[in-house]
Amino acid sequence: MSADPTNAEIFENLRIELRSGCVVLATLAELRQEHYGYTLRKVLADSGIEIEENTLYPMLRRLEKQGLLLSEWREEDKRKKRFYRLSPLGKTLLAALFDEWDALQAALSRVRKGR
């Protein structure tokens, strides 16, 4: 019995690596408008970016701790919910990350075509 990863596991790890930066970028971009976790996850999924709850919530807390997000507890429909939105620093970094994303996309497109 070998402990080597299967081809499916190798692919899955590469896929996760490819997705992870995009997931952060999409989250920041969506939080240009305020959301609480549930609706954020829903609108991202509707756009084609599925995020597990146990990935999303730690990521939101990390991004808030880094100063990219602001959050606020508010009551809505008789329940306290934590609403998140992009901070001014988050806005600046989001714009810079989209510039990086555009450059990566252009570069990858050139490599893919074999120039």
Interface residues toward its own copies, by CB under 8 A: 5, 7, 10-11, 14-15, 17-22, 24-26, 29-30, 32-33, 44, 47-49, 66-68, 89, 93, 96-98, 100-101, 103-108, 110-112, 114-115
**Closest CB to its own copies among residues 48, 77:** 48
Q: CB of 38: closest distance to its own copies in angstroms?
A: 17
Map residue 84 onto helix, strand or coil.
strand
Look at residues 20, 93, 33 and name the one whose alpha carbon lies nearest to residue 59.
Answer: 20
Rounded-to-integer distance, Cα 86 and Cα 89, Å: 8
